[in-house]
Structure formats: C-alpha cells, structure tokens
Amino acid sequence: MESSVAEQQTVQTTAVADGLPPELRAKMALALDVDDLVQANRLARQLSPWFGVAKVGLELYTAAGPDCVGALLDGGFKVFLDIKLHDIPTTVGKAAKVAGALGVSYLTMHAQGGTAMLRAGVDSFLEGARNADLDEPTALAITVLTSDANAPGHVVPARLRLAVEAGCGGIVCAATDLKDIGEMAPRTKRVVAGIRAEGGDKHDQPKAVTPKAALDAGADLLVIGRAVTLADDPVKAATELFSDLQPPR
C-alpha cells in the first residue's frame, strides 16, 4: 500500500513538473466531452497542469446543467461554455444572460444566426456578468464547424464580418483561417479546435494541427479534447502533446 501511495505521489509530482507555464495554460481549453460530472472533474484535476480553461459542451451540459460550471469554477478553471447558441434573438439573449451570471468566461454562438441574434447574445452575456459583479466575458462566434472540410471559401470572411459587427470578442475557426482572420480583425480573439499531436488520430477533425503550429499561426486559445481525454494515459498524452511547448527541466 505504501508503495502504491508513493507511486501516485511521483506521478502527480511529475505531472506538475511537466506542466505548462501560466501564460500558456491560460491558452489551453480542455474539452470535457463526457456525460458525467464526476468523470469531468477527475479529468480536469488530472490535466490541470496543462489547462487553465475547461470547455463544457452540449454533452456535459445536458447531463449536469449549470452545476458543472460551478464545479469547474471551484476547481480554479475558467469555463468555456460551448453550447453553440442559435435561435431567435430573444431566446439567445436570455440564455446568454444566464451564462454570464454563472461566471462563464467564453460562450459560443453560431454566426450563421445573423447580426441581430449575435448582438442579443453579446449584450446579454455581458449584462449577466456585470449584474453578478464578474469580470467581462468573451462571446465567441462559430464560423464553420471544424468537421466541415467542404465549406465554400467565402463563408468564413462573411461570418467574421457579422461577428465583428455584432460585437463578438472572438471567433472559432480552423487553423488554416488564422492568418486571414488576423488580417481582417486583428483585435478579435482567435480560438482553434481540432488540436492533435503530430501524426495523431484526427478523428472527425480534417484540419487538425499541433499546438505549436496553431500558436505560431496566431491562435489565442486552443481547444483540446480527445487527443488527451481518450488516451489510455491522459497525463502521458498531454506531456507528449505539449512536449515542444514545455520549458526545459
């Protein structure tokens, strides 16, 4: 038993030593795409040396609701609520206001919903946070889903313009769009999903890139999930994924 405890402590110490510095942890969002809050908290704690943001998607939010937001905030994470709001402006606004009051830092909406819908979401999201005396959050517009490799080239620029006009603070895009978005809207936070290790399984992310490649291309926030959460050893997977970003030991 003593040996087992010692081994666990060694693993934890190694994980912390292999983690990222704070300025890089703040740029890494762990996608907790599970349907159980206990499992989500376990993964978040285990991988906290590398991730400062926890992303809650439709699966976890449907399973656990607002409780998952509170639990992750209590764990020291910023929360990225990725529920991709897309409805009439009034409905989106009401939902966004609740998210802001919960303490969510990032909230996604489909740019396809148009300027009026995005504006309702942005304004209400900020209002919810302000009413709760919380820091100003960032509304993120989804341009094209990263699983869609066949979207026409004009779609991303058009939806970026909608997002900027509506006051969205950030955009979710593929790594291949980073340069163009940076030139068109340099003040807009750029969020990239589909991050994988070099040569790793891309799953349903045809435009997957490595963390270093995405950051070098101008990404401000990286969303990383299955590359680590589905690994037999998530800590080892994270260590390898971020190996070229970690400081020398």
Write out the catalytic residue numbers.
84
Neighbours of 179 (CB within 10 A): 12
* Strand, helix or coil for residue 138: strand
Residue 19 in contact with residue 25, Cβ under 8 Å? yes
> Which runs of consecutive H residues, i.e. helices, occur in the chain?
2-17, 22-25, 37-46, 58-64, 66-74, 89-102, 115-131, 155-166, 178-184, 211-216, 226-229, 234-241
Q: Which of 109, 123, 113, 219 is nearest to 167 (CA)?
A: 123
